[in-house]
Amino acid sequence: MKIKKVNCLIDFFSEEIPSSMQIFLEKEFNLLFEKVLNKVLLNYEKIEILSSPRHHCVLIHNIDTLQKDQILDIKGPRIDAPKLAIEGFLKTNKTTLKKLTVNKTNKGEFYFHKKFIKGKTFSQLVTDIIQEVCTSISWPKSQRWGYSDLKWGRPLRNIMVLIDKSCVNGKIKINDNDFIKFKNYTLGHRSLNKRVKVNSANDFIDTMKNSYVFVNRLQRKKAIELQISKISKKLNLYYCRDDNLLNEVTGLVEFPNVLVGKIDKQYMKLPFEILSIVMKVHQKYFSLLDNSKKIAPYFLVVSNLKPNNQTDKNIVKGNERVLRARLSDALFFWEYDCKNDFSYYLNKLKTIIFYEGLGDLHDRSLRLSKISENIGPLFNINDNKKTNKLGLYSKLDLSSNLVGEFPELQGTMLKYLAKLNGLSKDMQFAFEDQYKPVGLNKNMPRNKLGSILSVSNNIDTLSCFFSIGLIPTGSRDPFALRRSGNSLINILWHESNTLNLNQLINSLDKKFRKDVKLVNEIKFFLIDRLYNFLIEEGFRSDKLSAIISQDNISQKTFLEIKSELKELDKILNTKSGIKFISNFKRIYNITKKSKMLSKSFKMKEELFIFKEEIQLYKFLNKLSKNNKKSSELNYNNHLRHLNEFNFLIENFFDNVLVNDKNTQIRKNRIKLLESIKLNFEMICKFQLIKT
Amino acid sequence: MQKLSFQEIILKLLNFWSKHGCTILQPYDMEVGAGTFHPATALNVLGPNPSWKVAYVQPCRRPTDGRYGENPNRLQHYYQFQVIIQPSPDNIQDLYLKSLKEINLDHLNHDIRFVEDDWESPTLGAAGLGWEVWCDGMEVTQFTYFQQVGGFEVRPVAVEITYGLERLAMFIQELDDVYSIDFNGLPKSSGGKSYGDIFKDAEKEYSEYNFEKANIDKLFNEFDNCVKECNDLMSSEKPLVKPAYDQCIKASHIFNLLDARGVISVSERQAYILKVRNMSKTCCSEWIKKHEN
């Protein structure tokens, strides 16, 4: 049989799979089909993945109809093996001694059996391929249904497999007794409610389109965008592209039909954040902007039904009613909240418990005002009154009705309350931005006040929960304290130059900062977070362990850590640097091995014999002097001398035997090496660097 | 065409699911937060009968959702229409859409959408995957494939369909206010009643009770008593599963009341939920043991 090329279409029809999971499944299908097809040695041009809420399809272009025949060399026993072993090999391979070949390997001469494997046809293999893919998907979330043991994103109801024009008969197992049999049809749009036969794999996309299903995600997305832009043009408004929403909605419909509804005028006075949360997050509507970039009183809903004047009207009417109900809730709360002043909210905070044993939100506000005041100067903000107010007011909106209803508006609501109460713009921004950055996300507060508040929030949260013993363990972190730690490290790394952990801890209340055990726990935790953060940022872990340790972290500012990492990279980029590290490691290993050295042993210059060790001794003195001169340890002092060091130490090792017969001389030499090691180790644990 | 009244919607749904083989049960006679608490759902899906089809209306109480009768969308007492079918049939989505057609919501004329919403009940130790069903943007049903109840795997999988009856009625009658729902389909002059005529006053009273008047000390006591009685019933030589489960339902409602009274802090919340979950877990485990043979 000759190998020909065919196109193959595999259609998995299921109940509605969530939008984000469709994207996951696309990637997974691509990966798994590629893997399995390569395993069975079938060549193909490309794999195309199509997906919609109910259809997930794989289109394999120009795949071989036939596997190539294979000849396998199966290794048998050595030619001098016992007869029994050789006979056994012949039996299992159904062959005779004459047909075996003998090959030399480095372990002697062996019998080999040439096994001929006839290639199978693609249509013979396709069922097994599908079964293997189906059971190998590693779903982030999946379910069983009926009696199935097989898991899928939502119940899998039908499979159709086409090789060019012919349907494949096959089935996949869903439990010990039951199967999903491949059908010669799939299903079209729900409103069509009928079986769809497809003539050939090539026709699939068009046939589905005629059955009101756009199986191509990109096409569907483009169709939505096109309709949106048509409508916005007609209304003389602008569409501000929103990729997240667009992607989500593309995964919610199979036949997009964009309809436009109106928003009652009375709701347009709501802040745009409220309008946008209700519209976008809750209802998945698009909004349009007018000339002055304000939200226009319209919403766009992407319906999943083919256009029809009467039904479209009904759908719009229904959606308008839902939106009205939600907005009237919001408006009621908004107007109620705007009537109250700061002292009302501040008092109300006293009725909301922050956490049992940690007081109420008013107590938290007082703590935050103190911390903000303390760290202000470290961000070059010296207006104590301002930073104090900043902290004190920062949680007010948590006692408003609107935030009770829409928790995602915390901070934003406060921005508006601050505006109403005549607070400055920078304060308003700071209130709004105080929850940024979220973990390792790069979105930072817009101004320094915002950064101060963000840092205050997180260090207060950590110190409070740690103080009552609620420290994350293993996978248990119910208060998301790791994320708090991540946010804290993230913002300090990007926004602060002069702050170190000691200063951060000193900004806390006395009862926290004087508690040695607590302080150590927080430091230990934050070092771990910092480490984790820097790994995420792409730094190598060996470099991090060399520079960051529990002993030095508290005094180092983030700026210093940054520059040390940079300096270290500089060293590693030079030949002399690499040489230095290997020389250093040599010293390190020698001093580690020799346990006989007592601490009280003092180096004596007169015990040195060779010029090479005397030179090294002088070099050590120079290093120590440098250290004393400069108040801070830094690379430059030491690393200027790398070449000199390399030269001296190599000379030393070449000409001087450390293990002298005379104990005093030996001890003296080891002491010299150890002193040099200590001197370099003070700035970086070079022994940990992998070269 | 005359718009369906609240009671006609219920009757049509009952009729539909009865025709499709469901046993029609009556509401459970205790205060529950959702139809799922009915033992016909919570316990029965764990066996012994692998073919279990029931439908019933369940009044639900959610004390914290009360708004003194002033919010047109929020109630502390409302009705769910609950269908539970085990094993979940292959055509269940079609059946559901047919049931909507029975109450004049034809999916050819309305934008019906299945939007991801995985469901979890921490107090029941139950979880499932499914959707909320949107009809022209309004959430009208919760549709869930039960994977776990009481911490135990549900095998075969049961499907739970929970219609929000007030939402459906508001949609069908094209209303913005729950209290104006036409309850019995009669003109005012011949005894016509709106939802508000029947429930508005109760909403006011119960909101006041839930938020302000419920006796806290008594409730705390009662909660402890429920836990104790449940434990006693379950640790005796011949455990009485259903009476013990009743105590678990009761405790769960008392917890909700205490929550509405605002006397449960964040950490305590977790502890209370855990207590109820442990009760329901023991009940479920005993129920399974009892029906294994």
Taking an 8 Å cut-off on Cβ atoms, the answer to whether A311 and B145 are in contact is no
At residue A380, the 3 state secondary structure works out as coil
Last residue of a domain, one of B147, B180, B209: B209
Q: How many inter-chain contacts (A to B, CB under 8 Å) are there?
A: 107
pLDDT in tens, A243-290: 999 999 999 999 999 999 999 999 999 999 999 999 999 999 999 999
DSSP, residue by residue, A619-631? HHHHHHHHHHHSS
Taking an 8 Å cut-off on Cβ atoms, the answer to whether A355 and B266 are in contact is yes
B46 and B101 housed in the same domain: yes
* Option in B94, B111, B116 nearest A304 (CB): B111
The whole-number average pLDDT for the span A206-215 is 96
B180 and B219 housed in the same domain: no
CATH, residue B60: 3.30.930.10
B232 and B101 housed in the same domain: no
Residue type, B256: N
| Predicted local distance difference test score (pLDDT) of residue A597 | 62
**Per-residue pLDDT at A570 exceeds 90:** no
B46 and B182 housed in the same domain: yes
Neighbours of A167 (CB within 10 A): 16
Tokens (6 digits) for A357 = 């044993």
The pLDDT-based confidence of A631 (bands split at 50, 70, 90) is very low
B47 and B140 housed in the same domain: yes
Reduced DSSP (H G I as helix, E B as strand, rest coil) percent helix, strand, coil of chain B, to 5: 45, 25, 30
- Looking at chain B, which residue has its C-alpha nearest residue A285? B137
Taking an 8 Å cut-off on Cβ atoms, the answer to whether A315 and B110 are in contact is yes
Domain count, chain B: 2
Q: Is B233 on the interface with A (CB under 8 A)?
A: no
pLDDT in tens, A590-601: 887 776 566 677
Return d(Cα A214, Cα A235) in angstroms, integer.
27
Residue A462 phi, psi dihedral angles, 5° rounding: -60, -50
Q: Is B131 on the interface with A (CB under 8 A)?
A: yes
pLDDT in tens, B192-235: 999 999 999 999 999 999 999 999 999 999 999 999 999 999 99
B121 and B234 housed in the same domain: no
Taking an 8 Å cut-off on Cβ atoms, the answer to whether A315 and B136 are in contact is yes
B183 and B233 housed in the same domain: no
Q: Is B87 on the interface with A (CB under 8 A)?
A: yes
B141 and B225 housed in the same domain: no
Assess if residue B1 is contained within a domain.
no
CB-based contact A257:A249 (threshold 8 Å): no
- Look at strands B23-24 and B52-61 and give their pairing: parallel
B34 and B52 housed in the same domain: yes
Domain carrying residue B190: 6-209
Last residue of a domain, one of B209, B237, B269: B209
CATH, residue B241: 1.20.58.180
Domains of chain A are 5-66+121-210 (3.30.70), 70-117 (no CATH), 217-338 (no CATH), 356-538 (no CATH), 571-688 (1.10.730.10)
B136 and B237 housed in the same domain: no
- Looking at chain A, which residue has its C-alpha nearest residue B112? A304
Over chain B (293 residues), the average pLDDT of each successive run of 10 is 92 98 97 96 86 97 92 93 97 97 94 94 93 96 96 95 97 94 96 97 96 94 97 94 97 94 77 92 94 78
Comparing C-alpha atoms, which of B145, B117, B88 is closest to residue A252? B117
Distance from CA of B90 to the nearest CA of A (A): 7
B197 and B269 housed in the same domain: no
Taking an 8 Å cut-off on Cβ atoms, the answer to whether A325 and B268 are in contact is no
- The model carries a pTM of 0.82
Residue-averaged pLDDT of chain A = 90
pLDDT in tens, A225-243: 999 999 999 999 999 889 9
Tokens (6 digits) for A215 = 């199986």
Q: Is B266 on the interface with A (CB under 8 A)?
A: yes
Q: Is B104 on the interface with A (CB under 8 A)?
A: no
B173 and B76 housed in the same domain: yes
- Looking at chain A, which residue has its C-alpha nearest residue B167? A322
